[in-house]
Structure 1
Amino acid sequence: MDPCPSSFFRRDTLDVARELLGYRLVREFPGRGRGPLVGRIVETEAYTQNDPAFHGWNLYDPETESVRREGRGADLFTSPGLGYVYLIYGMHWLLNVVTEPEGTGGAVLIRAVEPVEGQNVIRANRGEKHRTVDLTNGPGKLSEAFGIDDAFHQADLTQAPLYFTSGELEKDETVATSSRIGISKAVEREWRFFIDGHPYVSPATPSDQTT
């Protein structure tokens, strides 16, 4: 499986977010004598530097074309293809991949995947009590399933042990959009992309329907 190169992510964030649908997220375990975990991406969200919901909002100064290096959000302006991982609710790690040319802020949140390989390990990581469809149908769930944590923040996601490989939509699959999940700003932007009707898409309610 050949990883997607950094040039794939050095593009418009919304294009990357849409095109990642059908691609694979791969987690390898070098030297542990077991195969990789592979998930087919079915849901993403886009975030850009001119977006009030962006973690790096207001860090970019258009007059000086410079970025204030304050907090973790500044890492969203680094090289495309790097990981941006953060903790929510004190317990769930969320995986993003940095997009746009270096110096321009952008990232795609990986919200949900369909398990393709390593289902036994995925279930063991998540726990036996969960329904199969609930193993990876949300960003915190998939990070737990794939063993993704703060160690992957600013990691190079164009190479092992965690990377993306190409894929495609099935003939009967279509891409749908909605407001993003769990935000209170820019809720009118339909920057959540998902495979319409796919069982592994997260069941959360879009923010424009909750605010």
Structure 2
Amino acid sequence: MEPLPASFFNRPTVSVARDLLGARLVHEAPTGTRIVGRIVETEAYTEDDPACHASHLSRDPETGEVVGQGRGQDLFAAPGTAYVYLIYGIHWLLNVVTEPEGTAGAVLIRGVEPEAGIDDMRKERGVDRKVNLTNGPGKLAEAFGIDGDAHKTRLTARPLFFTDGASVEDERVAQSSRIGISKGVERPWRWYVAENRFVSPASPSS
């Protein structure tokens, strides 16, 4: 399993979000175990998107430096960088930075289908049912042992990375509004494998 290169993520965010369906998320733990899941659900966020953490930031036209404060500054990092943050004080969410460095964008990994390391996932999550291990962004981060320590690491190298998988045909891909947002709801920037039981059960925002 070789990591996807930075060039894969150095593209328009919406293209990366669509193309990550079918790819695999891999975490090679220090214990030597390998946790693997096939990506079945993603969401895209860009700097001109009101739902993006970088939407309130700008760049100095002379220096190119990001103007403003907040975690959204890290979305301007090099493509393939991990953007991991905590919501509700409980759940870590895994995003991968996209677009050329200096342009903000990221793809949220919302759901994966477990393929390897399932016993490790069960230990991390404290649940037995396979379908409940990774059908949501907070669940999958916990199942894979991902927390704030992964923030700003490179997802183009071991131990946490993406790798090729089986591509998903267009006829099997569905789109909708993203989940859990109040702005930018008109953008159909959530992609998922239709009828896959590991897609998160939450309803799209409207």
Alignment of 1:114-153 (within 5 A): 114-128=113-127, 130-153=128-151
Task: Give the distance between the partners of 1:81 and 1:7, measured in 2 at CA.
Answer: 8
Which residue of the partner structure matches residue 6 of structure 1? 6
Give the conservation status (yes or no) of the 8 Å contact 2:125–2:142.
Answer: yes
Task: Give the distance between the partners of 1:96 and 1:159, measured in 2 at CA.
Answer: 15
Q: Deviation per CA, 1:133-159, whole angstroms, max 9, x where unpaired?
A: 011000000000000000010001101
Task: Give the distance between the partners of 2:74 and 2:85, measured in 1 at CA.
Answer: 11
Which residue of the partner structure matches residue 81 of structure 2? 82
Which residue of the partner structure matches residue 200 of structure 1? 198
Secondary structure at 2:38 match in 1 = strand
**What amino acid is aligned across from residue 81 of structure 2 in structure 1?**
L
How far the C-alpha of 1:58 sits from its partner, in A, is: 2.2
Secondary structure at 1:86 match in 2 = strand
Determine whether 1:111 maps to 2:126. Answer: no
Q: What is the TM-score normalised by the length of structure 1? A: 0.93
**What amino acid is aligned across from residue 101 of structure 2 in structure 1?**
E
How far the C-alpha of 1:45 sits from its partner, in A, is: 0.2
How far the C-alpha of 1:169 sits from its partner, in A, is: 3.2
Larger displacement relative to structure 2 (59-68 or 44-53): 59-68
**What amino acid is aligned across from residue 9 of structure 1 in structure 2?**
F
**What amino acid is aligned across from residue 13 of structure 2 in structure 1?**
T
Which residue of the partner structure matches residue 21 of structure 2? 21
**What amino acid is aligned across from residue 59 of structure 1 in structure 2?**
L
Task: Give the distance between the partners of 2:66 and 2:175, measured in 1 at CA.
Answer: 30
How far the C-alpha of 1:67 sits from its partner, in A, is: 1.8
Alignment gaps of 5+ in structure 1: none
How far the C-alpha of 1:124 sits from its partner, in A, is: 1.0
Give the conservation status (yes or no) of the 8 Å contact 1:173–1:195.
Answer: no
Secondary structure at 2:92 match in 1 = strand
Give the conservation status (yes or no) of the 8 Å contact 2:58–2:68.
Answer: no
Task: Give the distance between the partners of 2:123 and 2:115, measured in 1 at CA.
Answer: 15
- Change over 3 Å in CA distance of 1:172–1:12 after alignment to 2: closer
**What amino acid is aligned across from residue 76 of structure 2 in structure 1?**
F
Q: Detail structure 1 runs of 4+ shifted over 2 Å in the superposition.
A: 61-66, 168-173
How far the C-alpha of 1:131 sits from its partner, in A, is: 2.2
Larger displacement relative to structure 2 (98-107 or 62-71): 62-71
Q: Deviation per CA, 1:123-182, whole angstroms, max 9, x where unpaired?
A: 111113x42201100000000000000001000110111000011235696111000000
How far the C-alpha of 1:69 sits from its partner, in A, is: 5.1
Q: Deviation per CA, 1:1-35, whole angstroms, max 9, x where unpaired?
A: 000011110000000000000000000023x2x32
**What amino acid is aligned across from residue 103 of structure 2 in structure 1?**
T
Secondary structure at 1:207 match in 2 = coil
Secondary structure at 1:159 match in 2 = coil
Task: Give the distance between the partners of 1:108 and 1:196, measured in 2 at CA.
Answer: 19
How many percent of aligned residue pairs carry the same amino acid?
60
Determine whether 1:162 maps to 2:182. Answer: no
**What amino acid is aligned across from residue 8 of structure 1 in structure 2?**
F
- Change over 3 Å in CA distance of 1:69–1:82 after alignment to 2: farther
Q: How many residue pairs are counted as aligned between the two chains? A: 205
1:46 pairs, out of 25, 35, 44, with: 44
